Amino acid sequence: MKTPIVAEPQPIEVDFARTALIIIDMQRDFLEPGGFGETLGNDVSLLHAAVAPCRAVLAAAREHGLLVIHTREGHRPDLSDAPPAKVERGSPSMRIGAPGPMGRILIRGEPGHDIIDALYPIPGEPVIDKPGKGAFYQTDLEVMLQGRSIQNLLVCGVTTEVCVNTTVREANDRGYRCVVLGDCCASYFPEFHEMGLKMIKAQGGIFGWVSGSREVLDAFGAAAAQPSKKYA
Ligand code: TIU
């Protein structure tokens, strides 16, 4: 059964049984003071606007039985999966692996690397640990999506122009329809957020579609009114 979602550049019809919600990098390291985002010189409070809409979509996706996948950017404690070209950016006391108030910056297993409480995964929801900006690069995400016959992705997270855009571009090339929920994404640069969304939906939807939490919640409501309600 297909359900229309109001989106730009045009509405899209999706089968929620073939759709996953993917929440990109809603980690303390990006959203809270003292983490990777702040060491890069950013005002992390700019990302908080995305949390409540994202939480609403997450709750609805769980209720409707969608596959929910979370991602985290980060590296092994020995930095063996961190390219020197990535690590050496920033002053030594603030770069990846350096000690910070939330543990070593962007290192797996440290408090800063984990997902914020408001969006914490529940048992059964896969968490993809990725070394890069894109969620497909050096991860088992594609195998996981293929195993569940997923064709469409509802994409939320941070930051719009970095890990969200990189992941959407990777997914688009792999044949997935990506619907990016604009108010569930955020950037340290409001203008990059706006342009990041514009780049996705330009040229007839060159990388995908842009919608929002309200539109997706409405679509879940419409789908639930149909006879078959569970998707996973
Ligand atoms: N710096 C920045 O905007 N983003 C990242 O480094 N990673 C993600 O977007 N997750």
9-58 confidence digits (pLDDT tens): 999 999 999 999 999 999 999 999 999 999 999 999 999 999 999 999 99
CA separation for the pair 31, 47 (Å, rounded)? 6
Q: Could you give the C-alpha distances from 51 to 59, 65, 70, in angstroms and in order?
A: 12, 21, 14
Ligand 1 pocket residues where CB is under 6 Å: 25, 30, 40, 73, 133, 158-159, 162-163, 188
Ligand 1 atom closest to Cα of 37? 1
Contact 154, 19 (CB under 8 A): yes
- Judge contact between 138 and 130, C-beta under 8 A: yes
Pairing between β-strand 19-24 and β-strand 152-158 as defined by DSSP bridges: parallel
Per-residue pLDDT tens for 69-83?
999 999 999 999 999
Ligand 1: centre distance to CA 21 (Å):
19
Catalytic residues: 25, 130, 163
Neighbours of 225 (CB within 10 A): 9
Q: What is the pTM of this model?
A: 0.97
For residues 19 and 130, what is the distance between their CA atoms, to the nearest angstrom? 21
CA of residue 222 to ligand 1 center, whole Å: 34
